[in-house]
Amino acid sequence: MVNNHKSFFTGIILLLLAITLGAQQSDVKRHSINVQSTILEKNIALSIRLPDGYGASQVSYTVLYYIHGDPKSVEELSILSHMWSQSDATQELIVVGIDDSDGLTDRMNDPKTYDLFLSSLEKELIPAVEKQYRTNGKRILHEKSLFGSFTLYVLLTRPELCQGYIAASKQWYDENNDYFTERARKALQNPEAFRGRRIFLATLNGAYNNNNIPEVNKNLSAFADMLMSQSNKRVQAKHQAFDDWGISLHPGFMAGLKFVMPSKTTGKPKADPLRMVQAASGQWVITNRQKKTLYEVFFFDNGPDYPSEGLIRIVKNGKIGYANAKTYELVVPPVFDCAFPFENGKGRVSSQCITVQHGEHNVWESESWLLVDKKGNLSR
């Protein structure tokens, strides 16, 4: 009888272990690790999103480090970077969100706080990521809102730490302008240290907290020009103001990504006429002039997807995107697990959804639905 009880409990333990391992293996793209920082004297949580093809390849990847990043925002940035890689035919990124719930990289008050966080980033956090994952040594640092000034601080203090910098903030105070202008002048006395670095500065092109928007845009454009001129263009810098800051989840990120990691193609090739045809298997596909299949057409109601607001859904490698219903040119790259037809200018999408059977029909369910527009902007 005792042996039967032991066998029963052993079986339960093994079952629970199998369930736990299965849950861990079912989401190999999303990781969470904790780094005990001796510099900051606290535990720092990292949320990591690997590219979809990471497990099936031996490729090494560029890493995007996002300050103040939680798992949800990391997933959103991964979707955007995936769309960018699809449209520009470039490599995907590993996205790492760094928790800063203590606000150490908030609006600058004391440079010593920035120095501590920078030291931890350089000596503890980046090494922890590069030790565990296949990285190629190239890094991008990104912040938004009140945290954009830390990105500037890193560029001017440790320009060699990252190759690309994306700083997005609604605000640019006079004291910010004075402090960073003076710091840049001193740092650029050694222009060679900035060779190959690129920084993108994004702001809101509208009223916010009584900022003088024309003055802000003038100051930031002048700041970007100064970075380039005083480094003899060893550093490339660009400022852009955005009108749709409140609509986009990550304003300026896509434009910034395109700037700090420009496509290696010299120009956009002439569009090749595309066609929708039915393959021998019965599947509807999009092909080019050479009859090469580019995408499958989403299968809906026993046939190819119907046009909605000028778009149809297409599928590649199990991921769904949107194409022009007349020309079949790609509009939104296929990066989603679920995607509904466009309504009122947007499509409801998710990269984390499941298919559930309800009677004779299958339906999608997700706890993280987003909206995407025809420019690829994401919103909730």
Quick one: average pLDDT of 296-315? Answer: 93
240: nearest Cα among 227, 265, 263, 223: 223
Q: What is the pLDDT of residue 148?
A: 78
Percent of the residues in the chain that have a pLDDT greater than 90, as a whole number: 58
State the CB neighbour count (10 A cutoff) for residue 116: 16
pLDDT over 90 (residue 111): no
State the DSSP code for 66: E
User: Which residues share a beta bridge with 67?
Assistant: 98
Identify the CATH number of the domain in which residue 353 sits: 2.40.128
Confidence of residue 361 (pLDDT cuts 50, 70, 90): confident
Same-domain pairing of 252 and 359: no
Identify whether residues 63 and 186 lie together within a single domain. Answer: yes
Tell me: do 223 and 126 sit in the same domain. Answer: yes
Q: Look at residue 87 in the predicted model and tell me its pLDDT.
A: 75
Condensed to tens digits (0 to 9), the pLDDT of residues 188-213 reads 999 999 999 999 999 877 655 546 67
End of a domain among 260, 291, 325? 260
Using CA atoms, how far apart are residues 362 and 352, in angstroms rounded to an integer? 16
Residue 201 carries which side chain, given as an amino acid letter? L
The fraction of the chain above a pLDDT of 70, given in percent, is 85
Q: How many domains does the chain have?
A: 2
Identify the CATH number of the domain in which residue 104 sits: 3.40.50.1820
Q: Exposure pattern of 187-218 as b/e (b: 16+ CB <10 Å)?
A: bbeeeebbeebbbbbbbbbeeeeebebeebbe
pLDDT, average across residues 221-232:
95
Residues 100 and 207 in one domain: yes
| pLDDT, tens digit, 9 for 90 and up, residues 58-106 | 999 999 999 988 889 999 999 999 888 887 767 899 999 999 877 767 6
10 part of a folded domain: no
Q: Report the chain's mean pLDDT, rounded to a whole number.
A: 85
> What's the CA gap between 192 and 294, in Å, rounded?
44
Looking at residue 22, its pLDDT comes to: 39
247/350 same-domain check? no
**327 and 219 in one domain?**
no
DSSP H helical segments within the chain, as ranges?
Answer: 2-25, 71-88, 111-120, 126-132, 148-157, 174-187, 213-230, 253-260
What is the residue range of 93's domain?
A: 28-260
- Do both 246 and 281 map to the same domain? no
Query: Shortest CA distance to 194 belongs to which of 226, 149, 150?
Result: 226
Same domain? For 54 and 158 the reply is yes
Structure tokens at 161: 């730490």
127 found inside a domain: yes
Q: Do the domain assignments include residue 20?
A: no
Count the helix, strand and coil residues of the chain and give each as a percent rounded to the nearest 5.
35, 30, 35
Question: Do both 249 and 335 map to the same domain?
Answer: no
User: What is the Cα–Cα distance from 48 to 65, expressed in whole angstroms?
Assistant: 9
* pLDDT tier for residue 264 given thresholds of 50, 70 and 90: low
In tens, the pLDDT along 138-185 reads 999 998 866 578 899 999 999 999 999 999 886 677 778 888 999 999
pTM higher than 0.95, yes or no?
no
Look-up of token digits 């949800």: 72
23 in a structural domain: no
Nearest alpha-carbon partner for 44 in 33, 54, 52, 35: 35
In a domain, 125, yes or no: yes
pLDDT of residue 208: 57
* Confidence category of residue 5, pLDDT binned at 50, 70, 90: very low
More confident site: 233 or 5: 233
Euclidean distance between CA atoms 79 and 271, whole angstroms: 25
